[in-house]
Amino acid sequence: MAACPEAWAGWITNKWYNPANMPQKLASVIVLKPGYARWEGYASQRACGTITLIQSTKKCMVDLGTAQDKEVILKQLKAHGFTPEDIDTVILTHSDVDHIGNMNLFPDATFIGGNDVIQGDLFKEFFKETYIVDENVSIIHTPGHDNRSITVLVKTAKGTVAITGDLFEYDKDWVTTDTSEAWEPWSQDKELQEKSRAKIWKIADSIVPGHGDIFKVDKTVDLGKP
């Protein structure tokens, strides 16, 4: 027997079946290539930024390494069932050359960098502090490394993942090793970067840094500068 229209209406409007009350499908974060930075002698360094894929309602790439990483990106995307044409959005955390290679792999994607949202040659939007990519992915302004640096916040089943670019260089970059500072020499504004780092440290459960693999945030560590 078919249900009457009134019954179907009640089923649809019942709060337990309202799509707004259904569990939200969260995103996943995949580090395609962990970044690195190695000194090769006085004032000489080999470095590449971390390359990350976000699987959410929109498929996003965050930072694109150097020009030599083209085949790495193509191979890793294929391994996860994607082609460059599947990528909706490319997010560049900052403009250092070891983070922005291979932009031409994604000619149809929307690019987000600094305060700009651009597709092709059309600047679609400008934002100041925050930008929403989709229900799981948002961007916030985290200056210090430079004045246009941004961080990507991703809601995942394991908590909030912050993809920070060079706001954080790598896990435990706050520990001075052999009198060598990790992030401070590259910072345009150390005090501002300390505040941005402390802000992300409170928000995030895990961090994808600019030159290393993803790591869990140890809340017992106090980075200061609230």
* CATH label of the domain that carries residue 151: 3.60.15.10
Is the residue at 10 inside a domain? no
Q: Which residues of the chain have pLDDT under 50?
A: 1, 3, 5-20, 226
Answer whether residue 9 is part of any domain. Answer: no
Counting residues of the chain whose pLDDT is more than 70, the rounded percentage is 85
Q: Does residue 16 lie within any of the structural domains?
A: no
What is residue 12's predicted lDDT score, i.e. its pLDDT? Answer: 42
Name the strands in the sheet holding 59-62, side by side, starting at the edge strand that comes first in the sequence. Answer: 28-33, 51-55, 59-62, 89-92, 110-113, 116-119, 122-126
1 part of a folded domain: no
Cα–Cα distances in angstroms (integers) from residue 120 to residues 109, 141, 152, 216, 219, in the given order: 8, 23, 22, 36, 41
Q: Is residue 72 part of a domain?
A: yes
Which domain, by its residues, includes 193? 27-216
Report the distance separating Cα 72 and Cα 69, nearest Å. 5
Q: Is residue 177 part of a domain?
A: yes
Tokens representing residue 220 in the block: 């017992």
- CA–CA distances in Å: residue 48 to residues 12, 36, 188, 211: 51, 6, 19, 7
φ, ψ at 215 (rounded to 5°): -140, 155
In a domain, 223, yes or no: no
Structure tokens at 58: 């929109």
pLDDT at position 177? 64
Per-residue model confidence (pLDDT) at position 180: 59
Look at residue 94 and tell me if it is in a domain: yes
Count of structural domains, the chain: 1
